[in-house]
Each structure stands twice: as structure tokens, then as C-alpha cells.
Structure 1
Amino acid sequence: MSVPFSESDPAADPSAPVLADAAVMLAPLVRWLLGHGVPIGSLVRTLKRVYLDEARGELSRRGQRVTDSALSVLSGVHRKDVRALQAETPVERDLAPTPAAMLFTRWITDAGCRDAAGRVLERLPRQGPAPSFEALAREVCRDVHPRTLLQELGRLGLVREDGDEVLRLSDRFVLPGRDPAAAQAMAVNVADHLAAAVRNLACEDPLARLLEQSVFAEGLSAQAAAELGDVAREIWAEALQRMVHEAERRLADDAAAGRGGAARMRFGSYFYMEDGDEDRARAADTGQGPG
């Protein structure tokens, strides 16, 4: 896919190649924004706020005073906008998964929620000792009542009450696209993925770079691509189970040793497929050449 960008001469404007790469990353985001009726003016205002937040951090890392003038020079945001935007209260996003997400993940990864053949139990008793939905809920979060978590997972279409049991309706925690939390989850996942990639670009030591890899194949039939999507889900299910267990073990080790900290991590995997005919149709509609 080709993305139009500034016609400025790359030799005269050293930022042109970087902006061309940024345009590729922004294209899916803009597609999503257009689908939600967000005009470019609103995005520009948000970008100014993000530029100021990051400029503030950059000045602090450099040991420089954070002033309106310094922020304006570094970010390119006009001083009038700097003052106006700094007076606004930023919207905070919780980076941690919700209690409902943690409960569902525990269900599909906990060894105590598997049958003799090692398969994840599709049904759990609603109440009682482990393995039960109530026991899992209290292990994950003591601040939220198990009934509340059950209602939330039911609202998301992930479980259903069946008498005295809870029936699992999905093999992974996937929020409906209409749910506001789905966009929030996308935001933090994509942000951490991009943060890892950006950090690696600035890291000179290959051994210190974070995991950020992908597999690419083209010339596939739609059926073959869909089958590879199923393979990706199988691989992710195995990786999810091991990573959850390893994270829980290290959290327990930290607690036992009386140590802790502010460090956080996120481990993810993604799979994307695109029909070549659809891609060409979209390019024709937007006046772009084939990518």
C-alpha cells in the first residue's frame, strides 16, 4: 500500500523519510478515526497535546527547564496553544487489564481449570471451592464481587449462566467491537507495540533490543491465509499459557522476597491478513497505486 505524503525534497527536508514511515503507521489509525466521524481538526488538537506531553518528558531527560518557550521550540506548537492545552485536564487510560479480563485469562490458563486430558474446562460450578467461578474471581480480585464479574463477562458474551454452572462461550478474551473498552484495549496494546519498536530503533546493542518480530508471506490464497490465522491462534494459546504462569511465578517470588517495583511488561502477538482484491479496490477508491 502506498501512502501520499509531503512533496518536499528529502534532501532539503531530513524529516521527509521519517514522515513517510509515520504515514504508513497512521493510515490504519486514520481509517478507524474516519469510521468514527473524527475530523482532522480534532486529531490535530490531540496531536498537539501529545507533542507537548512528550516534549515535556524529553526536556526533563535532557535536564532542561520545562517552560512554555522551550516546549514551543521543541514541539513546534505555538506558545498560545501551549498555554491553552496545558490548562486542560488530560484523559487518563488504565494500562492494566480489567478484573474481568484477568478472571477469564485465569480460567483458560490455570492448570486447576483443566480436565484429565489437559483440556480447558468449558463449565465451572458457579459457587464453591476451586475450581469454581467464585473461587477464581476471589483469587483475581477481592475488590469486585464475583456476581459483578459474572455479569460483566455475560454482557460481553464470553460466558453464560447455566443453572448452577457457568458456561464458557469463547476460547479467548475478545471484546465486542462496539464496546468502548475494546478501543481502550487496542490503544494500550498498539502503544506498547509501537513503543517497543521505537525503542529498538534507538538501541545500538542488538542484545538489548526488545522482542519485536513478525512473519510475512504473500501470494497466498484467501483460504491458506485464513488457515495460517488458525495456526497463529494455536501458537498464541500456548504462548499465553506459559507467559501467564511465568509472570505469576515471578510476582510470587517478588512478594516472598519482599521486593517490588514500578516495572511493567506486556507480551503480545498479532496476525493480519488482507485480501489482495480488496486492497486494490481501496487503492483505486483513494487514488493510490498498488502497494
Structure 2
Amino acid sequence: MNKETAVLGNSDGTRLSHESETTLEHVVNIVPKLIEWMIKSGVGYTEFSTALKAVFYNEAIKELNRISQKKTDSAISLLSGLNRRDVRAFCQTYGEYVLVDQLSLQLPVSVPARVLGAWLVQALPSSIPFQGNENSFESLVRQISSEKHPKSILLELKRLGHVIEEGEQVVLQNSNFNSNLHVDENKKIFPKNISDHLAAGILNLTQNTNFLEQAIFADELTQDSIDKLTQLSSDLWKLMSKALVSAAIEYCKSDQGTKNANKRFRLGIYQYDE
């Protein structure tokens, strides 16, 4: 066993099965881009790991439903890896499933976010001095945490675009708190596309389905070739999507109102180069 797979065991030192070990190894290879997105957005391990507990709880419930097994605390705990205290807490608080909007109310709030919240709640000026005993950025941070250094919090808020420095002043950028409807809408669409893409591939691997899930890869290319391939991809997608949308509209019209019209269809395409 090489060093990379050696870390994919259980905490008690026992080995995972080959299926579990290889699955975990490949999932870990998928996650970095998601972690990159979260870190760029100011989401850390604490917030993510808390949210993951509910995801594992939900998926364990779904699997027990699939195999028609009784949903006891022990069974949910065994499948999800959560301790029974967490399972019982979810059952008592949410019932069978944890809804995403319910979960968001329970997530821990990071220190930088709490500092911003205190700034707004206390109605401090949009520009405050970094140092000082009262109404300064340092004093604001100390109200929230005695462990985090004010300079570190300042750098994090600057990285996220929430504040800027002007001389000795820290200036709140209110525009960054306003909702960007275009970005928000894309954030809703993107996870649905990715989720269905993953669902197609995972079902192909685990249930021998035959969903279309393919990609074309080429390397050792010049930028000129990349530009031409990108344009060709875009042109072909426009032709294909036009035909598919037209067909989908017709099928929706003909199927509307029929008893078994309870299915959905999604076809996606992506292009990436580096």
C-alpha cells in the first residue's frame, strides 16, 4: 500500500474495503475545486464540516429507504459515520430530513463574518481607525474573539472585498453586501448542473446504467488551437441546443397532463482549458 492510500483508513487503524478506499480516493480528487470555491468565498472547514453532517444524515436516510431497512439511530449512525448524539439531535430537531434552509440557520458563523455583523449592528461609521480603545477595528475584533489577531481578520476581510484600507482607516465596502442577482442565479444553476452530472456518472458506476457522460481531452496544444477548439465547441453547442430545445418544447406540450409525465431531463456541456 502506498503512502497516498495509507491515509484512507478508519480512525481506529482498520483498513477500508477496496471499493470504499478507491471511492474515497477519487472523491478526494474531486473536492479540491469545491474547497477552492469555498475558501475564495470565505467558507472554512468549520462551516463546511458542520454542513456535511446534515448531508451525511440525509443520504443515510435515503439509503435506508432504498433498501427498506428500519431507520434506527444505530443504522443511521453506522451508514453516515455520525455519532448517535448527532443523529438523535437531527431526528429531534428536523424530523426525517434536514432541509437546506433549516440547516443554514444552524451553521457556525466565522469570526470575520461576526466582526462585520457587529460593525453593522452597532451602527459604527463606514470608516473607522484600525487602532484605538473605542470604535476601532481592533476593539471590534476583540469583542468577538480574543484568539484571532485583528490584523489577520483585516487581511481576510480585505481578501473577500468587504473592507479596504485608507491610511490608518478601515473602510467598509457596503456594495459587497448587496445581492448580485445574476451571480446568485448562476450559483443556483451551477450546483444543479454539477449534481446531475455526478448523478449520471455515479449511477453508471454503481448501477450499470447508460447515461451519456463523456468528455473529449487533448493536450500539448498551442493557444491558437485552443481558441479554434473553443469556437468550434461553441458553434456546435448552439446548433445542438437549438434542436434540443425545440424538441423539448414539443415533448412538453404533448406530455402535459398525462398521468406518467413525472420525469425530468437535463443535458449539459462544459469546456475548460489551462
Could you say which residue in structure 2 is the equivalent of 1:245?
246
SS at match of 1:218: coil
Q: Does 1:200 align with 2:204?
A: yes
Q: Which aligned pairs between 1:184-223 and structure 2 lie closer than 5 A? A: 184-204=188-208, 208-223=209-224
Could you say which residue in structure 1 is the equivalent of 2:15?
12
1:171-222 Cα offsets, whole Å, 9 max, x none, are xxxxx89721211111111000000000000233xxx410000000010112
Q: Structure 1 residues 180, 186: closer, same or farther in 2, change over 3 A?
A: same
Q: Which aligned pairs between 1:36-185 and structure 2 lie closer than 5 A? A: 36-86=41-91, 87-88=93-94, 90-91=99-100, 179-185=183-189
CA distance in 2, matches of 1:177, 1:231: 30
Could you say which residue in structure 2 is the equivalent of 1:35?
40
1:135-192 Cα offsets, whole Å, 9 max, x none, are xxxxxxxxxxxxxxxxxxxxxxxxxxxxxxxxxxxxxxxxx89721211111111000
RMSD (CA atoms)? 2.5
The alpha carbon displacement at 1:6 in A equals 5.8
Could you say which residue in structure 2 is the equivalent of 1:26?
31
Which sections of structure 2, spanning at least 5 residues, go unmatched? Answer: 102-179
Specify the code of the residue in structure 1 equivalent to 2:265.
M
CA distance in 2, matches of 1:51, 1:253: 39
Q: Following superposition, which runs of at least 4 residues in structure 1 exceed 6 angstroms of deviation?
A: none
Could you say which residue in structure 2 is the equivalent of 1:122?
none
TM-score normalized by the length of structure 1:
0.58
Could you say which residue in structure 2 is the equivalent of 1:273?
273
SS at match of 2:207: coil
Does structure 1 retain, via aligned residues, the 8 Å contact 2:60–2:80? yes
Q: Structure 1 residues 178, 5: closer, same or farther in 2, change over 3 A?
A: farther
- Higher gyration radius (CA): 2
TM-score normalized by the length of structure 2:
0.61
Does structure 2 retain, via aligned residues, the 8 Å contact 1:5–1:19? no
Does structure 1 retain, via aligned residues, the 8 Å contact 2:255–2:261? no
The alpha carbon displacement at 1:32 in A equals 0.4
SS at match of 1:196: helix
Structure number with greater CO (CA < 8 Å, separation at least 6) is 1
Specify the code of the residue in structure 2 equivalent to 1:91.
V
The aligned length equals: 184
Could you say which structure has the higher helix fraction?
2
Q: Does 1:254 align with 2:255?
A: yes
Does structure 1 retain, via aligned residues, the 8 Å contact 2:8–2:25? no
1:8-32 Cα offsets, whole Å, 9 max, x none, are 4799333332211101111111110
